[in-house]
């Protein structure tokens, strides 16, 4: 009898479908993003309660900079407000302490508004003592960018080609201190990685849910974990 996988330690979430969810309800697309952010907080709780140690979630991709300026501005404001209200020291209802979440932002922080950069620094510092769940929020992030920035670091450190290994390269990625993802969940009906952790996901189990992200439920998450448990991971062997 084949032994089932234990709960995944590192789960990647690509929360797709916020805008379509809003449009089908006659709402402004920004309302979909607001509902999606609230769902991410729920997901963190579900993951923590099921023994997941790390969650990497797409918040804003490098390609999202091509969206309308109004939507980009709203997303930046939403991210700033969400981080301040849920994870900062100044918030009276912060979820960071309640959920034991350590928050880290991965991506091109220098492209973000100064006010968002400031709250990111505060949240990362404030939550660094938390140990129950590690939340990587990918903002202005792209998998190809991650590979290029790792290569630049390696060149800058003067590492010779004969010294370079996959393990060493992995250490220079933005997720280098975490194990590779076990499970990649994408909502919204699309079935592609969309430039999220493309190096790290080489042997990650993929799970696609047709529901839009704001409709993704705790039962849906459990279904994804159950499917993961049924799969046999061979890692090319």
- 150-176 tens-digit pLDDT: 999 999 999 999 999 999 999 999 999
* CATH number given to 10-230: 3.40.1180.10
Report whether 164 belongs to an annotated binding site.
Answer: no
pLDDT tens figures, 118-150: 999 999 999 999 999 999 999 999 999 999 999
Report whether 199 belongs to an annotated binding site.
Answer: no
pLDDT at residue 4, as a whole number? 58
Report whether 172 belongs to an annotated binding site.
Answer: no
pLDDT surpasses 50 at 1:
no
Percent of the chain exceeding pLDDT 70 equals 97
Domain ranges of the chain: 10-230
pLDDT surpasses 90 at 23:
yes
pLDDT surpasses 60 at 21:
yes
pLDDT surpasses 60 at 3:
no
Report whether 84 belongs to an annotated binding site.
Answer: no
Spatial contact of 141 and 62, defined as CB atoms under 8 Å apart: yes
pLDDT surpasses 80 at 93:
no
Average pLDDT, the chain: 94
pLDDT at residue 235, as a whole number? 78
pTM reported for the whole predicted model: 0.93
Active site residue ranges: 16, 64
């Amino acid at each position: 009898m084949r032994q089932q996988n234990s709960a995944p330690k590192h789960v990647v979430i690509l929360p797709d479908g916020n805008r379509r969810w809003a449009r089908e309800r006659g709402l402004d697309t920004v309302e979909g993003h607001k509902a999606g952010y609230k769902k991410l907080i729920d997901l963190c709780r579900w993951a923590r309660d099921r023994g997941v140690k790390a969650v990497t979630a797409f918040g804003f991709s490098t390609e999202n900079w091509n969206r309308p300026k109004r939507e980009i501005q709203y997303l930046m404001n939403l991210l700033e407000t969400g981080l301040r209200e849920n994870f900062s020291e100044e918030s009276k209802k912060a979820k960071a302490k309640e959920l034991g979440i350590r928050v880290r932002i991965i991506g091109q922080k220098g492209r973000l508004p100064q006010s968002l950069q400031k709250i990111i620094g505060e949240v990362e510092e404030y939550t660094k003592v938390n140990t129950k769940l590690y939340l990587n929020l990918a903002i202005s992030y792209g998998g190809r960018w991650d590979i290029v920035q790792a290569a630049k670091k390696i060149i800058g450190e003067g590492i010779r080609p004969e010294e370079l290994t996959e393990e060493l390269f992995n250490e220079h990625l933005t997720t280098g201190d975490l194990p590779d993802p076990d499970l990649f969940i994408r909502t919204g009906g699309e079935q592609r990685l969309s430039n999220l952790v493309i190096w790290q996901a080489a042997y990650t189990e993929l799970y696609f849910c047709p529901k839009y992200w704001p409709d993704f439920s705790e039962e849906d998450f459990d279904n994804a974990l159950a499917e993961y448990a049924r799969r046999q991971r061979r890692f090319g062997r």
